[in-house]
Every structure is written in C-alpha cells, then in structure tokens.
Structure 1
Amino acid sequence: MFVHRRDVQIQWGDCDPANIVYYPRYFAMFDDSTSIMFEAAGFSKQDIIHKYGLVGIPMVDTRAKFYIASTHGDWIAIESRVESFKRSSFEVTHKVFKGEALAIEAFETRVLVGRHPDDPGKLKSAPMPEEIIARFTRG
C-alpha cells in the first residue's frame, strides 16, 4: 500500500487562545495531505480532474480521534494512505505523530464527481480509474 508522510510545523495561526491547535485546522492539514499524497503518487488533483472529466473529489465524510495536543512551534508528521477503494469513492486515513507517539487518527471518505450526462447542471459520481487503484494498492 502506498503511504505518504510529511512533516508540518504548527503555526501561530493554527492555535486557539490556549495555544492548542484549533481542531478545524487539522482538517485543513488532512485535506492538503490527501492532495499531496496523490501528487506524490503521480496524480495531481488538477491532472485527475482534467484527464477524467471530473468536477472534483469532494470529501463526503470525515472524523478524527485526538490523543495528544500540539502547540505553536511543534513539529508533527502526518502519515496518509488510501485504505480502500469502492466504485467511485475511496477511504483515506491520516495518522499524526508527535515524535514517536500517535497524536491523532483521522478518517475521510472522498468521491470522484463529474457532470451528469443527462443534465450537465447536476453532478454524478464517476468510477475510480484502474490506474489510480493500481498505483495505490501496489505501493
């Protein structure tokens, strides 16, 4: 399985008045991490959208479990991987490490979306391309 890991330094603007990362900031980091993971695998988001005629790859479900807080100046590592593929969706997990300790586990479901063939004003899920599945499953 393809796994991407990146280091992130917590910035002042990520934190609340108690100097703890305000939890929605993590979801922005996870969104970036998914895009960066796809780019590292050879599929930039823009390339996928243009090549397969998609409108986007929206997140339709997300959640996280928080174990260890981070504060301004801390370095964290975000490890991202696609856990599974379905016809038009895929599941991503993000594990955040603070040093060697697991700080956060996060989960998201994304769907490939294109224009509906009968009504271009509407959206419709699109099938997951085999070349993407192959790249992520063989590592």
Structure 2
Amino acid sequence: MARVHIHPVQVEFGDCDPAQIAYFPNFFRWYDAASRHFFESCGVPPWRELERSTGIIGTPVVDAHSTFIRPTTYGDRIEVHTSIGEWREKSFLTRYRLMRGSELLAEGWDVRIFAIRHPGDASRIKAVPVPEDIRRLCE
C-alpha cells in the first residue's frame, strides 16, 4: 500500500471566481503544495538544503491532469490526499485526491522529475535519476 500524506487547505474568498466556486488553477496550486508537503512528511530535506548537498533543486512538473467532480467554495476546509503512484527511472507519478470530509471533489495526477541545474547552462535544468535514498524514504 502506498504512503499517503494528507495536506489541509482552507479555501479562501480569493480562491474563488465570481460564482464563488474555487477557480480551477487553484487545484493545481494545492496539488503542488501537497507534493512538497508529502516529501517533507517522508523526511526529505527542503529543496534549498537538498541543492546544497546533492544539487537537486526540486521536482518540476512535466505533465499534469485533473478531473473536477464537485465544486468547493470559500470557507470550505478540504484535504489533499497525496501518494506516489509510480516510480520511473527519471520521473515519478504523483496522485492527488481532493476531499471535503468523505466527499471526493477532484482527482489529479502529475509527472515530475528530480532536477539539477544544467551543468553547461545554469539557466536550464536537467533531469537526473530518481535518488534511491529519497525513493526509500517515500515508500
């Protein structure tokens, strides 16, 4: 069974469109925050610290999807349930289930890479193999 981290979110008025429904890009913002909190909960150091020790600057998204099932609005307390769905050589798939109590609001997933600054051009990034020590911490 995959490890699941639950990240709480308070939906704010500014998260909503004029119809008072959470604007869809915020779901991706909540997924992104939940991804970092997942790694922290597994014992992975903050990205700045990891960059100093390993060169890894983070886990940028290379593909992202979401299915929106039910709306949410300001004042709602919701949770993002995050797990790793699949580990690959240089990428991994993260799964998200956005819940309000037992009610499923949205499901999403993204593919991320572990990245370093490109050795030949620091303004670019380069994917590196998934670090085994991080993988072990997160399983």
Same fold (TM over 0.5): yes
SS in 2 for 1:128: coil
Q: Which residue of 1 aligns with 2:40?
A: 39
What is the distance in 2 between the residues matched to 1:54 and 1:124?
10
Give yes or no for the alignment of 1:103 onto 2:105. Answer: yes
Higher strand share: 2
What is the distance in 2 between the residues matched to 1:112 and 1:6?
21
Between the aligned residues of both structures, percent identity stands at 31
| AA aligned opposite 1:107 | W
RMSD between aligned alpha carbons?
Answer: 1.5
What is the distance in 1 between the residues matched to 2:48 and 2:84?
19
Contact 2:47 2:56 in 1 (8 A): no
With normalisation by structure 1, the TM-score equals 0.90
Q: Which residue of 2 aligns with 1:124?
A: 126
Assess, with a 3 A threshold, how the Cα gap between structure 1 residues 123 and 45 changes in structure 2: closer, same or farther. Answer: closer
The CA deviation string for residues 14-68 of structure 1, in whole angstroms up to 9 with x for no partner, is 0000000000011111111101111111112323333221243211110100101
With normalisation by structure 2, the TM-score equals 0.90
Contact 2:48 2:57 in 1 (8 A): no
Aligned length: 136
